[in-house]
Structure formats: C-alpha cells, structure tokens
Amino acid sequence: MRRDVFQAIADPTRRAIIALIALQAMTPNAIADNFNSTRQAVSKHLRILTECKLVKQEYRGREIYYSLEIEKMKEVDKWLEQYRKIWETRFDQLDNILTKINKQKK
C-alpha cells in the first residue's frame, strides 16, 4: 500500500522526527535516542517517511543520515495555505467584533 504525505504526518512520532531532522541531518540511532521506543519502531517511521519522500537518505561512509525533503514539505504548506486564508479572515472578523464590543463598553 502506498501512503501519502498526509498519512505520514498524521502520526505524532513521525511529526517529531520531522522536527528533529529539520534542524540537521541525523543517523537513525541519533533519532532513536530522542524517543522512548525501540530502534525498530523508529526505523519503521523513517521507512514510511522515506517512502512518502518527506525525508531523504544520504550515505556518509557506513552511516546513513536522514534529512528533511523541503520540496515535499512545500506540498503540505501549499495545501494548508487555503485554510490559513480562511482562518485569518475569521480571526480578523472576530477581532473586529471584539473591538466593537470594547468600544460599546466604554
């Protein structure tokens, strides 16, 4: 079964892994050290993230380093952008209502 990006980021552990490797490339062991789960469980999460092309692997000698695939994350951001505009409009409307209420109280 082929997973999509949104299935991958639905899991909180995978989101935490993304946050970790967004700052710097890390080995699976270094990533696993940040979680209270087995290395096999972390490896499974990394496999899913790699399958969805959210992370990429880079071999440096014997080590594999995982880093964030920025272009794929832009897909998520593009999808969210449509909702961000709706939220901003609603927050602006709420701000206007609250301002009116505060003026009426004075």
Which domain range does residue 95 map to?
Answer: 5-105
Q: What is the mean pLDDT of residues 66-72?
A: 91
Q: CB burial class (10 A; 0-12, 13-18, 19+) of residue 66?
A: buried
Q: What is the reported pLDDT for 44?
A: 95
Tell me: the pLDDT tens digits for 18-57?
999 999 999 999 999 999 989 999 999 999 999 999 999 9
CA angle at residue 11 from 76 to 90, to 5 degrees?
Answer: 50
Helical H runs in 10-61?
12-23, 28-32, 39-51
Tell me how many domains the chain contains.
1
Q: What is the reported pLDDT for 71?
A: 86
Does the pLDDT of residue 105 top 90, yes or no? no
Question: HSE (CB half, 13 Å, CA atoms) of 102?
Answer: 6
Tell me: the pLDDT tens digits for 1-19?
567 888 899 999 999 999 9
Q: What is the reported pLDDT for 76?
A: 86
The CATH number covering residue 79 comes to: 1.10.10.10
Question: HSE (CB half, 13 Å, CA atoms) of 7?
Answer: 10
